[in-house]
Amino acid sequence: MITGKNYIGNKLSAKGNKTFTTFNPKLNIPNQYELTEATPEEIDEAVALASSAFRVYRNVPGTKRAAFLNAIADEILALGDELLEVYSSESGLPQGRAMGERGRTIGQLRAFADLISDENWREISIDEAIPGREPLPKPDLRKLLIPLGPVVVFGASNFPLAFSTAGGDAASALAAGCPIIVKSHPMHAGTGEMVASAVVKAAEKTGMPEGVFSNLNSSGIEVGVQLVKHPGVKAVGFTGSIRGGRALYDIAASREEPIPVFAEMGSINPVIMMPGAMENRREQLATTYASSITLGTGQFCTNPGLLLCMKNDASDAFIEDLAQKTVAVDAQCMLHPNIKANYDKMRSSISAQEGLEVVAEYETATQENFAASQIAKVSGASFLANKNLHHEVFGPFSMVVQCKDEEELVNIIDQLEGQLTGTLIADEEEYQDLGTIVDTLQQRVGRIIFNGVPTGVEVCASMTHGGPYPASTDSRYTAVGINAIKRWVRPFSFQDFPKELLPEALK
């Protein structure tokens, strides 16, 4: 069922001779099918098709685009268990996660379909003319949001469904009226092709113009680079590493016509545990956080990689408890041998930093590609003195920083790089003392969670998934929730238009 070919519009195509395979990290063997990388000609073809599709698609009514999105959801479901199996074989993630992520993907598609079923999302604004105004008549002005044009969507390694081929970036761009060209993630290109086949079926069934969707394979960076440089491409969505996201941002910014790149990148998601809560809920917090740190093998964007607390007996005991509970969780498989190798490299590099003490490490002999969780601790002073400690370790690793006082704590928060989330753990008696901490934390993050865990990103209108750089390349947008559509649109004004020429929504 997996052909290994690219979708250039609705047609399967494999003109190139560079091939690659995906890898089953649980079995530690390559998957059997071969994927063919897109050629420069196929890339040009996909962009040309997207540009001509845009001429039609931007004027397809919202109800019909909604039908397209709902049809994609239906066709993904119709792929049945095979999709879930391929998903797991390319990611090492369990079937439960595969089902959950498919549910989220379907839910996102349907949420955007709902959103565009009427035109309210377009921020319609009408200022009627006042012909008699002095000194000058006021013209009639009507404004709405219109799509930017073809969008390139990069599949994310850690979300083969919900942030890849028909994931959040794809669904929001298609909802906005932008054709998309997906640069499939090489680690799960088989999953990508299956979902692509569902999108193509849905496009055909609902009569969408050819080129509204293409799916390109690649094992390296060349295909993505050519796409982002292409004059026909008008915006980019990416989820992944800071290095990858920044490279795309730099390419887009240096084009003759710069284009917006929304890259959701690394984050260590600081968690601040106040002394009272630490004292009173130590065990419960250790249990909760051991679970959050190891969830999905620590491969979520919102994984809590940094815990901040006061240095005292309670936090000493908490750290011990957290460490034991974390390493007691069964080791799990990582997405790919490369990701596992990178985790081990980052972990050993950070462990060698001055002042850092490894409290516990998962020790049972593990299978290949299974990650050994680790908890480390460090003093506030050491953390402040060493920026190497501020970077993400992608995997089931967390560092606890013990601060000498609140001033040091606030100083650390202030020095952090931009983050997707911050979390505050506090008892009711401590609420009154949180002013400065909340205010400082707010400047570094896109969302604060109170007495919870950062993992688990609700898909709703009030969600912000994004944050100051390097959490994202444009903190003015969210990657999750219906407002993600705002990344792909621009305001447009009609002045003194005759009614018959106005779009329906502005009449």
* Catalytic-role residue among 264, 392, 408, 417: 264
Residue 310 near residue 278, CB atoms below 8 Å: yes
Please report how close the Cβ of residue 187 comes to a second copy at its closest, in angstroms.
Answer: 27
**Of the two residues 345 and 476, which places its CB atom closer to a second copy in the complex?**
476
> If DSSP codes are grouped into helix, strand and coil, which group holds residue 481?
coil
Residue 357 CB burial class (10 angstroms; 0-12, 13-18, ≥19): middle
Q: Which residues, 157 to 216, sit near a second copy by CB under 8 A?
A: none
What CA–CA distances, in Å, run from 507 to 125, 145, 499, 501? 11, 15, 6, 9
Q: Which residues, 23 to 62, sit near a second copy by CB under 8 A?
A: 55, 59
**Of the two residues 15 and 229, which places its CB atom closer to a second copy in the complex?**
229
**Of the two residues 178 and 319, which places its CB atom closer to a second copy in the complex?**
178
Please report how close the Cβ of residue 69 comes to a second copy at its closest, in angstroms.
Answer: 21
**Of the two residues 5 and 487, which places its CB atom closer to a second copy in the complex?**
487
Please report how close the Cβ of residue 461 comes to a second copy at its closest, in angstroms.
Answer: 5
Say how far apart CA 164 and CA 356 lie, in whole Å.
36
Tokens of 118: 């009427």
* Catalytic-role residue among 42, 178, 301, 309: 301
Say how far apart CA 253 and CA 229 lie, in whole Å.
10
**Among residues 26, 65, 122, 142, which is the contact residue for a second copy, using CB under 8 A?**
142
Please report how close the Cβ of residue 456 comes to a second copy at its closest, in angstroms.
Answer: 7
> If DSSP codes are grouped into helix, strand and coil, which group holds residue 254?
coil
**Of the two residues 77 and 146, which places its CB atom closer to a second copy in the complex?**
146
**Among residues 153, 268, 470, 479, which is the contact residue for a second copy, using CB under 8 A?**
470
Is 120 near a second copy (CB under 8 A)?
A: no
Other C-beta atoms within 10 Å of 82: how many? Answer: 11
Catalytic (active site) residue 301: yes
Residue 182 near residue 196, CB atoms below 8 Å: yes
**Of the two residues 27 and 141, which places its CB atom closer to a second copy in the complex?**
141
Non-local (6+) Cβ contacts of 326 within 8 A are 289, 290, 293, 294, 360, 362, 373, 374, 375, 396, 398
If you search the block for the tokens 């590493």, which residue do you land on?
A: 241
Tokens of 103: 């549910």
Please report how close the Cβ of residue 206 comes to a second copy at its closest, in angstroms.
Answer: 22
Beta strand ranges found along 52-120 (DSSP E): none
Is 439 near a second copy (CB under 8 A)?
A: yes
Please report how close the Cβ of residue 311 comes to a second copy at its closest, in angstroms.
Answer: 25
Tokens of 137: 């008549």
Non-local (6+) Cβ contacts of 409 within 8 A are 272, 308, 310, 380, 403, 437
Please report how close the Cβ of residue 252 comes to a second copy at its closest, in angstroms.
Answer: 9
The distance of Cα 240 from the centroid of its chain, to the nearest Å, equals: 7
SS3 helix, strand, coil % of the chain, rounded to 5? 45, 20, 35
Catalytic (active site) residue 178: no
**Among residues 37, 60, 418, 419, which is the contact residue for a second copy, using CB under 8 A?**
418
Tokens of 472: 């994202």
Say how far apart CA 312 and CA 325 lie, in whole Å.
20
The interface mask with a second copy, positions 226-265, x = CB under 8 A, is -----------------------xx--xx--xx-x-----
The interface mask with a second copy, positions 83-112, x = CB under 8 A, is ------------------------------
Largest CA distance in the chain: 83
What CA–CA distances, in Å, run from 501 to 54, 124, 240, 468, 498? 20, 16, 43, 41, 6
The interface mask with a second copy, positions 487-506, x = CB under 8 A, is x-xxxxxxxxxx-xx-----
Residue range at the interface with a second copy (CB under 8 A); choices 166-174, 296-304, 335-343, 479-487 = 479-487
For CA atoms 423, 427, 431, 435, the dihedral sign is negative
Q: Which residues, 440 to 459, sit near a second copy by CB under 8 A?
A: 442-443, 446-452, 456, 458
- DSSP annotation of 318 reads H
**Among residues 146, 358, 384, 410, which is the contact residue for a second copy, using CB under 8 A?**
146
Is 379 near a second copy (CB under 8 A)?
A: no
Is 300 near a second copy (CB under 8 A)?
A: no
**Among residues 22, 334, 477, 479, which is the contact residue for a second copy, using CB under 8 A?**
477
Please report how close the Cβ of residue 320 comes to a second copy at its closest, in angstroms.
Answer: 28
Residue 181: beta bridge partners?
A: 152, 214
Please report how close the Cβ of residue 49 comes to a second copy at its closest, in angstroms.
Answer: 17
List residues binding a second copy (CB under 8 A). Answer: 55, 59, 125-127, 136, 138-139, 141-143, 146, 148-149, 249-250, 253-254, 257-258, 260, 418, 428, 431, 434, 438-439, 442-443, 446-452, 456, 458, 460-464, 466, 468-470, 473-478, 483, 486-487, 489-498, 500-501
Catalytic residues: 264, 301
